[in-house]
Amino acid sequence: MPLFESPHAEHDEIVGADAATRALSVTVVETDFVARVYEKLASTYDFTFGPTLHPGRVQALQRMGIRSHDTVLEVGVGTGINCTLYPRDCHVTGIDLSDSMLEKARERVSRKGINNVRLLEMDAAHMKFADDTFDIVYAPYVISVVPDPVAVVREMVRVCRPGGKVIVLNHFLSPNPLMAWVERAISPFTVHIGFKSDLDLPAFLAQADLKPVSIEKINIPRIWSLVTCIKA
């Protein structure tokens, strides 16, 4: 039985016959490598990835439909760039593997006087939360970073309450054959700036057993996807 139910049959059609078994990316990374990359990026992340990716962050928050007193988990909170966007009457937990990124997030939260966000150092593939803890679990621009995207999203599902939302905002491999070839070719290099450029969306959905209720293209250029699921 799928982890998520979808009223939109068209999303079932994007998963090909081999999606459940093919590699998600040509690039393999280890947790220590990812941690080192983000330790280096901590001081420049807001300048290099802040303005460019911000429209997607805003749209994701709008799609969440956060209600008063909702509990939100942000997976890969980074420098806390989203923290100012959340309504002050919800409860946000942000986790990240990089202590340097979290230090930037703590500085931001303190400087802005944000008191509804707690920040924890944690491996997203091995979360220390109980089952069914959060109303919304959100991973912005992080799924193509982690060594095992399927393990991370399964943890996201586990800690989300039934009926809650699991939202992934990420770049995925282009369906255009020429663009896909380029993205696979450069993926071994893009990991050094924080992401795999060739994460296969149909394979990811099939292997994580996800059936989205919506997949939206966002940002400019529209090469990022906002994937929204409801836990069955």
| pLDDT one-digit tens code per residue, 77-98 | 999 999 999 999 999 999 999 9
Query: Is the pLDDT at 68 greater than 70, yes or no?
Result: yes
Q: Which residues, at least 6 apart from 136, have a Cβ–Cβ distance to it below 8 Å? A: 64, 66, 70, 71, 72, 73, 160, 164, 165, 166, 167
Cβ 192 vs Cβ 37: under 8 Å: yes
- pLDDT bin (cut points 50, 70, 90) of residue 28 is confident
Of 170, 161, 159, the C-alpha closest to 205 is: 170
- pLDDT bin (cut points 50, 70, 90) of residue 2 is very low
- State whether the Cα torsion 160-163-165-166 is positive or negative: positive
Name the 3-class secondary structure at 139.
strand
pLDDT value at position 16? 53
- pLDDT bin (cut points 50, 70, 90) of residue 165 is very high
Which structural domains are found in the chain, ordered by start? 9-230 (3.40.50.150)
- pLDDT bin (cut points 50, 70, 90) of residue 192 is confident
| pLDDT tens-digit map of 96-155 | 999 999 999 999 999 999 999 999 999 999 999 999 999 999 999 999 989 999 999 999
pLDDT value at position 49? 82
| pLDDT tens-digit map of 193-232 | 888 999 999 999 999 999 999 999 999 889 999 999 999 8
- pLDDT bin (cut points 50, 70, 90) of residue 52 is confident
pLDDT value at position 5? 47
Average pLDDT, the chain: 90
- Side chain identity at 52, as an amino acid letter? T
Q: With 0-12 CB in 10 A as exposed, 13-18 as middle and 19+ as buried, what is 19? A: middle
Instruction: Cite the DSSP H helix spans in the chain.
Output: 31-41, 45-48, 50-64, 99-112, 149-159, 177-190, 201-208
